[in-house]
């Protein structure tokens, strides 16, 4: 069980909506950026994996506290929650860099599938990628919401 990987993600003024808070949809942009940065840094084949195609199969996100624009980036903790033959799941906590353990803005999880766009089908994780991802496996995401 490893520590989550911390990525600092800058906000943009335009992430705010008419309520003056970072819009709920824009949180997923922040996760996208954390993911793109994280995967590039984790994987020697990261850039290639991204160029060859990774498809998002699902997202789940829970919002915990409102976030307003500020010049300082937020911190996204990123880890792997599951690895399977053709993909993997990522867990995230969006938090304030200055106060680890507090000020959690959101928790989320994304399902990712490697996809061969030319062949029109999923493709298998290479053993090296599987090994690297395995080294980042952590706890399940602590969602509060339970399926009814």
Q: Give the phi and the psi of residue 32 in degrees, each rounded to 5.
A: -60, -45
13, 98, 119, 121: which one contacts a second copy (CB under 8 A)? Answer: 13
Smallest distance from the beta carbon of 20 to a second copy, in angstroms? 5
Question: Which residues is 78 bridged to in the sheet?
Answer: 5, 92
CB burial readout 5-19, b (16+ within 10 A) else e: bebebebeeebbeee
Q: Does 17 bind a second copy (CB under 8 A)?
A: yes
Rounding to the nearest 10 degrees, give the CA dihedral for residues 122, 143, 25, 3: -70
Residue 82-121 contact track with a second copy, rule CB under 8 A, x = bound = x----------------------------x-----x----
Give the interface segment with a second copy, choosing from 17-25, 97-105, 122-130, 131-139 (CB under 8 A).
Answer: 17-25
Smallest distance from the beta carbon of 148 to a second copy, in angstroms? 6
3, 20, 98, 127: which one contacts a second copy (CB under 8 A)? Answer: 20
- What is the rounded distance in angstroms from the CA atom of residue 124 to the CA atom of residue 127? 9
Give the interface segment with a second copy, choosing from 66-74, 94-102, 123-131 (CB under 8 A).
Answer: 66-74
Residue 15 is given by DSSP the state G
Would you tell me which residues interact with a second copy (CB under 8 A)? 10, 12-14, 16-20, 23-25, 28-29, 32-33, 36-37, 40, 53, 55-63, 66, 69, 71, 82, 111, 117, 140, 145, 147-148
């Amino acid at each position: 069980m490893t520590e989550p990987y911390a990525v600092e993600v800058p906000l943009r003024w335009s992430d705010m909506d008419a309520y003056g808070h970072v819009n709920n949809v824009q949180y997923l942009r922040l996760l996208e950026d954390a993911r793109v940065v994280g995967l590039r840094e984790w994987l020697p084949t990261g850039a290639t994996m991204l160029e060859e195609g990774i498809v998002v199969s699902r997202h789940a996100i829970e919002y915990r506290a409102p976030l307003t624009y500020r010049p300082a980036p937020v911190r996204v903790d990123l880890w792997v929650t599951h690895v399977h033959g053709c993909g993997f799941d990522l867990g995230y906590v969006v938090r304030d860099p200055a106060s680890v353990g507090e000020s959690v803005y959101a928790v989320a999880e994304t399902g990712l599938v490697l996809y061969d766009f030319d062949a029109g089908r999923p493709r298998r994780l290479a053993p090296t990628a599987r090994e690297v991802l395995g080294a980042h496996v952590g706890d399940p995401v602590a969602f509060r919401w339970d399926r009814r």
